[in-house]
Every structure is written in structure tokens, then in C-alpha cells.
Amino acid sequence: SHHEHEYYAIRNAAALIDISPLFKYRVAGRDATRLVDRVITRDAQSMSIGQVWYTPWCDEHGKVIDDGTIARLDEQLYRWTAADPSLRWLRQNAAGLDVEIEDVSEQVAALAIQGPTAARVLRAAAEADIESLRYFRATHGRIGGVPVDISRTGYTGDLGYEIWVEVERALEMWDALMAAGRPYDITPTGMLALDVARIEAGLILLDVDYVGARKAVIPSQKYSPFEIGLGKLVNLQKAPFIGQQALRREAAAGPARQLVGLDVDWDDLERLHDEAGLPPQLPVTASRVSVPVFRGGSQAGKATSSTWSPTLKKMIALATLESKSAAPGTKLEIEFTVNHERKRVGVTVAKLPFFDPPRKRA
């Protein structure tokens, strides 16, 4: 399949991915840091200029609205990315603060270059200090004469960078990167390949692995950061932020559910296909259809994203499970359809991420 070639570019070479559809906000003004700190679960006061943070933000009940990255570009200047429109939420919470929030989604284009040769491509293409750019840091530079911001971030769990540029000059920059990347097997890459990589990296996707709190219809659709693997990003000691009280209570009690990985038992899968007289089929695309996970006779949760991992040579899934079934090594079953019949196949709870190469942070 076509995107298999793209997937291998992410893991073996360099993939160029258009991430411009992200929502992007420019937060500036005397109280910019106060606003960021009021909204996110991490301690913005401790963030330095040139740092980029991945973070969730919550409603007053401690349920995650969305997750994204925030780059501190200057003393009181931030670039905030989100999967869903967030302007109203930011403005609502800026009441009484001296801060300007501008939706720059249409003015700023963003490209991700991801994979083991990504740094080499950028060294060839960019006038910027790529050598000393550390993981989750940002710098300025030029590519093909175009001024850009470059951050060492990405959604693949691999070595990678994201490049921010004004929309009018994005095509020039794309062309410059493609030209510089030719010796490094640079490949334009789309969502299908990205989906496989982000599942291997244990990275969640809004509307697939969780529902944003403001879109949720019933309480069970709302997730706290602790339930979707983002507990490490919650600072309960920092200055007050939205949802802090609720999250303190939850931290004390322990979360009801947890995000985990699942390793699918391939022998079991083969057996089910055998019984139906079929050869086992490797799925060519990642699935975003949620399926029940069982522990004995009762449901223990659901698997939300699953894929064949070409790198790990196994089927893997992201799942939300009740905490008592979430310990690594726990044997469970997931629903699996073979020849239009719903069956169950054995799975083992695994620690996330499935794939975490040292080059990502090196």
C-alpha cells in the first residue's frame, strides 16, 4: 500500500507532513504567562523562553478539554496549538488579564519533518542551530531564505522537528526541504502513516482515544488527565489552575480508568482465522473504531486505536481500562471480527509507549 512507504520514511528516513490544519493561537501581553498558567495543568511559571510543552487543559471538573503544545517564544509571547477550536475558552479565561489572544490558524503554516534522517535534512536545508536544539526546545532560523521557527517536537515518537512559517511562504519552504532532503530519502507523508506511528508511540488522538469534555454528552465520555496517560503533566502544587481542586481529589483517590497498551496474541488471531478457513489478514490501515475489552465475562474497558506495527511485527492497540485490569502483563480479550462474526482474541496489557527510540531525545 502507498502509505506503507510513507510509514517507513518516518521510521527509517525522513517524512514531511503538513500539520497546518492544527488550530494555532498567539498569546501575548503583560499577563500572557498568567493566562497560560491559569489554563494548563503544568506550571507555566517554570517554563523558559525557547521551551515547548505538551500539555492538557481541563474544565472546572478536572476533565480534559483538549491537549496540544505551547511554545514560549518570548518573555510574554506564546504559540499555542490545539486539535479543536479553543479561542472562546482562552478568551473566557482571560477575563481581567492584560493579554491578547489571536487566532493565527490561517496565517501560520506548519510542517513536521520526522524520522532518523530529519536532523540531517535540516542541517542541509536550514540556516539554524540544529546541532544544539534539544528535545522540546525551539529556535529561529531560515530555510531557503524564508524566516522560520523550528521546534524539536512531533507526533511520531521519533526524532523530529516542526517548522512554523507564514502561510505565503510555506510552499517555498516545502520545496527547499524536498530539494535538500532528496539525498536523505525525504517522503511527503499523510495521516494514514502518521496514525500507525503515533499509536506505536502511545500518543493519543482527540475524538478517537478520548472525547473533549466540552463535546462529551454523558459523564463516562469525559476523561481526566490521569485516565488518558497525562497524569505526569499535572502539577497539583502550582498556582491555581482550572480543574485543580477536582484533580487533587482524584489524585488522592486514584483514577477509575487508565490508558494502556495492548499486545494482541497473534497465534490466537491465526486460530480464529483458521477456524473460519481464512488466512489471517494484516490490516493495512490503523483502526479508529472502538471495540470492547473483556476480563472473563465482563467488560473491562475499550480499545480505541489499533494497528499492525511494521516495526514491532505485532498488532497493538491503545485502550482505556478500569484501573484494576490495567496492570502490565494482565491477560484480557478484545472483540475481533472474523468473516463478519464477532469473536474474542487474547491480549496482554503493555506499558506505553510501545516504541521509544533513544534518537528521539539524543
The three-state secondary structure class of 361 is coil
C-alpha cell at 16: 514531511
- As a whole number of angstroms, the distance between CA 303 and CA 86 comes to 27
| DSSP per residue, 263-315 | EE-HHHHHHHHHHTT-PPPPPSS-B---EEEEETTEEEEEEEEEEEETTTTEE
pLDDT digits (tens, 9 = 90+) for 217-251: 999 999 999 999 999 999 999 999 999 999 999 99
The number of C-alpha atoms within 13 Å of 252 and in the hemisphere containing its C-beta is 7
Q: Which three cell numbers stand for residue 85?
A: 477550536
SS3 call for 88? helix
Edge-to-edge strands of the sheet including 186-188?
Answer: 126-127, 138-143, 146-151, 160-166, 108-114, 14-18, 186-188
Per-residue pLDDT reduced to its tens digit, 84-114 = 999 999 999 999 999 999 999 999 999 999 9
Residue 204 corresponds to which amino acid?
A: I
Facing residues of 259 across strands?
320
Q: pLDDT per position in the chain (362 positions), as tens?
A: 678 999 999 999 999 999 999 999 999 999 999 999 999 999 999 999 999 999 999 999 999 999 999 999 999 999 999 999 999 999 999 999 999 999 999 999 999 999 999 999 999 999 999 999 999 999 999 999 999 999 999 999 999 999 999 999 999 999 999 999 999 999 999 999 999 999 999 999 999 999 999 999 999 999 999 999 999 999 999 999 999 999 999 999 999 999 999 999 999 999 999 999 999 988 889 999 999 999 999 999 999 999 999 999 999 999 999 999 999 999 999 999 999 999 999 999 999 999 999 999 99
